[in-house]
């Protein structure tokens, strides 16, 4: 790839990451120190991963292109550096050229980088995330299911529900699902208010605070959880089943009949904490590939 094209690609990816970071920041509830810390850690991880990938792509691109004038100059410098023109022959050690020193330094840095990556990958084998993924792989395989990945942007519960509804022939927009959940919770305050508390004090929300909570459900990227899932079952008159890596299958809205909305709850998928994906029947080709 041309160097200018690669640099433009990197600029575009950085813009996309900044947009994602803004979504992560907005999704962290105000006053929730735990979520704020997790959001900061997730942002740092994403930025580090992008920097590392960009650096690797730049190095690979440089290695793939022909020598330009500057590189030819360096090559010539290296060649001349090996010639002892001004010194008489003797037992003195040969002095390294500046170009050779740069090459040696770069090689050492690359070696250290590879070693760091290897150590990180070794440590990551037994990470909570990998263990959770293996547990889900076992659960879904036994039930002939597969997980549909949903972006982690604060809207994961609602987007997972949108995907599930589409599998049942119901086309909804994520924003509409949020609005319907918000309206339902406002109309059924006695059913939900008593279970909602302030994260900093544990006190029950006031009616005004509850009203704001419902408004945030409709208008922000706040996470959805147990209460919002309960509202979803009542809005769409459908049961919900939630697969968990640890613990039994969670069922909600069992009073409703029909095909359930199937989700998976991931506690360690991302640094931000809880995350929901959509669960569907395993595709035939995928199942055949594993047999």
* Residues recognised as catalytic: 153, 156, 275
Angle (deg, nearest 10), helices 156-167 and 174-187:
110
Instruction: Enter the DSSP assignment of 240.
Output: E
CA atoms of 268 and 128, how far apart (whole Å): 6
Whole-number Å distance between alpha carbons of 237 and 246: 27
Give the largest CA-CA distance in the chain: 97
- Strand ranges across the sheet with 145-148: 145-148, 273-281, 261-270, 240-244, 250-252
Distance, CA of 268 to CA of 271 (rounded, Å): 7
Cα dist. 2→12, 57, 61, 73, 149 in Å? 15, 12, 8, 21, 33
Alpha-helix runs per DSSP H in 82-173: 98-124, 128-142, 156-167
DSSP 255: T
């Amino acid at each position: 790839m041309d160097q200018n094209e690669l640099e433009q690609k990197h600029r575009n990816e950085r813009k996309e990451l900044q947009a994602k970071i803004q979504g992560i920041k907005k999704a962290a509830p105000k006053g929730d120190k735990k979520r704020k810390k997790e959001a900061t850690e997730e942002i740092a991880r994403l930025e580090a991963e992008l920097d590392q990938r960009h650096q690797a792509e730049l190095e690979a691109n440089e290695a793939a292109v022909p020598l330009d004038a500057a590189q030819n100059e360096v090559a010539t410098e290296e060649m001349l550096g090996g010639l002892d023109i001004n010194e008489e022959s003797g037992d003195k050690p040969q002095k390294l050229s500046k170009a050779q020193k740069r090459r040696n330094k770069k090689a050492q840095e690359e070696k250290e980088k590879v070693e760091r990556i290897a150590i990180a990958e070794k440590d990551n084998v037994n990470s909570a995330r990998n263990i959770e993924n293996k547990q889900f792989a076992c659960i879904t395989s036994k039930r002939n299911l597969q997980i549909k990945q949903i972006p982690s942007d604060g809207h994961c519960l609602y987007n997972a529900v949108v995907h599930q509804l589409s599998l049942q022939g119901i086309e909804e927009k994520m924003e509409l699902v949020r609005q319907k959940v918000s309206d339902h919770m406002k109309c059924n305050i006695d059913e939900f208010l008593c279970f909602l508390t302030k994260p900093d004090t544990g006190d029950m929300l006031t009616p005004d605070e509850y009203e704001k909570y419902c408004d945030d459900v409709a208008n922000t990227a706040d996470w959805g959880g147990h209460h919002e899932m309960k509202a979803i079952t009542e809005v769409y008159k459908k049961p919900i089943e939630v697969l968990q890596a640890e613990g039994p299958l969670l069922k909600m809205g069992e009073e409703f009949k029909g095909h359930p909305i199937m989700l998976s709850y991931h506690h360690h998928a991302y640094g931000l904490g809880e995350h929901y994906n959509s669960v569907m029947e395993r595709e035939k080709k995928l199942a055949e590939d594993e047999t």
